[in-house]
Amino acid sequence: MAGPKYSATCSAPVNIAVIKYWGKRDTKLILPTNDSLSVTLDQDHLRSVTTASADESYGGKDRLWLNGVEEEIAEQGRLRTCIDEMRKMRSDKEAGDDKLPKLSSWPLHICSENNFPTAAGLASSASGFAALIYTLATLFGLLPAVDNSQLSRIARQGSGSACRSLFGGFVAWQGGEKADGSDSLAVQVASREHWPDLHALICVVSDAKKGTPSTAGMQRTVATSPLLQHRIKDVVPARMKSISDAIQRRDFDSFAAITMADSNNFHATCLDTTPPIFYMNDVSRAIVQLVEELNRASEEAGKGKVAAYTYDAGPNAVLYAPKENVQLVLQLVRHYFPNADFDDTFNLLGAGSGASHRGQQAAVPLPSGLPSTFNSSVIPVHEAGAVRRLIHTQVGDGPRKLNDAECLLKEDGEPLRL
């Protein structure tokens, strides 16, 4: 479908931090209290797609549709900041070349969709803001003169973690020191091609109640947690260095040890907050016990760690593991947490690539190939649906420019789907 005359469509990936961002030193500019580092996940499985179009005829104001629903663009809000910053770059470009159409002075229509349901319990703000910024940069003809690190500075002002979704592979958000935020940006530590073997299994844990939103939660931690000060000063700087080295060496043992320690340290600062914040629940903690036992038994057998867990501001586990270990981890999780919906992207269960396993499933036996000292009663077999859904993906690439066939706006600038 052709789409409007001046339009661009791009996608951006989800990222999951292994060194967590938690706390702001400036809430307006979104400047963090510590550096962080993440793994970008594959857009073939999880992504946000955004179309942006500018046209003189679009009434007087910018409009935005998210997953088919029109959203207000609040004055003073984060979206407004991002759009204004991008417009300013376009207007500087137009000032230097009067043959360019004056896109910076025309209203925008922006339409964005995620290919994963919000019900999956995954934060979409990182991929969403990264897709928005990359799409506007494409529409405004700013690439490649403006590089992705520069764009990350703007995405950061939409949602902190979004700055890391401007790159594929392994990405550091350098918190920076300046008050104006000019040195607070994302850089790539290693590409996906450097360590393509790293896979992720997302365990979506049922949770009826909605937890504390991360924006509010982290400032409560900043205001009240003495442990956070120790994390900022002593814990994170050393870990940023050691995990970057582990990634360079493709050393899964060290990568896993640091990832799990940092997740636990972050959740400890949440518990150290007044009043305390609980993101992990009993199912989250059972998954920790399972992975710890698996790693212990594997190490006792003279092999390395099998998998690493990490948790964001919610109960879902993200398990990182080398490709060859995913089969074992998957079957172990399916044994202890029966009936999770699973789309088998890599055909691990042999029913075809992408085969959908839904609803009532036969009990999954303990997998063969477990290390001999593995204690199978480390956790009980949980009730069906305690883990609602499993998503298997891998390290992925950065934002992509898509072709017209994926445009989300019709020729008249109205959304394709409402």
Q: Is 356 helix (H, G, I), strand (E, B) or coil?
A: strand
* Residue 164 beta carbon to ligand DP6: minimum distance, rounded to whole angstroms: 8
Name which position in 34, 159, 174, 295 contacts ligand DP6 (CB under 6 A): 159
Backbone dihedral angles phi then psi of residue 215, each to the nearest 5 degrees:
-60, -45
Closest to ligand DP6 by CB, 139 or 318: 318
Identified binder of ligand DP6 from the candidate list 263, 312, 316, 333, rule CB under 6 A: 312
Handedness of CA 62, 127, 134, 416 (dihedral sign): negative
Give the DSSP letter string of 76-98: TSHHHHHHHHHHHHHHHHHHT-T
Asked whether the bond before 144 is cis by omega within 30 degrees of 0, the reply is yes
Residue 20 as a binder of ligand DP6 (CB under 6 A): the answer is yes
Residues 101, 109: Cα–Cα separation, whole Å: 17
Under rule CB under 6 A, residue 152 binds ligand DP6: no
- DSSP-derived pairing of the beta strands 69-71 and 108-114: unpaired
Amino acid occupying residue 23 = G
C-beta of residue 89 within 8 angstroms of C-beta of residue 140: yes
User: Is position 30 an interface residue for ligand DP6 (rule: CB under 6 A)?
Assistant: yes
161 near ligand DP6, judged by CB under 6 A: yes
Helix (H) or strand (E) holding 344: strand 341-344
Q: Does 125 bind ligand DP6 (CB under 6 A)?
A: yes
Burial (CB < 10 A; 0-12, 13-18, 19+), residue 327, is middle
What phi and psi, each to the nearest 5 degrees, are found at residue 78?
Answer: -65, -35
Binding segment for ligand DP6 (CB under 6 A), chosen from 111-119, 153-161, 221-229, 296-304, is 153-161
Of residues 3 and 217, the one with the C-beta less far from ligand DP6: 217
Span of 96-104, 158-166, 251-259, 295-303 interacting with ligand DP6 by CB under 6 A: 158-166
Out of 40, 152, 214, 339, the only residue in the binding site for ligand DP6 (CB under 6 A) is 214
Q: Rounded to the nearest whole angstrom, what is the least distance from the CB of residue 245 to ligand DP6 in the complex? A: 20
Judged by CB under 6 A, how many residues of this single chain contact ligand DP6? 15
Nearer to ligand DP6, 128 or 371 (CB): 128
Residue 346 Cα to chain centre, angstroms: 20
Question: To the nearest whole angstrom, how small is the minimum distance from the Cβ of residue 351 to ligand DP6?
Answer: 33
Residue ranges that bind ligand DP6, judged by CB under 6 A: 17, 20-22, 30, 36, 123, 125, 159-161, 214-215, 312-313
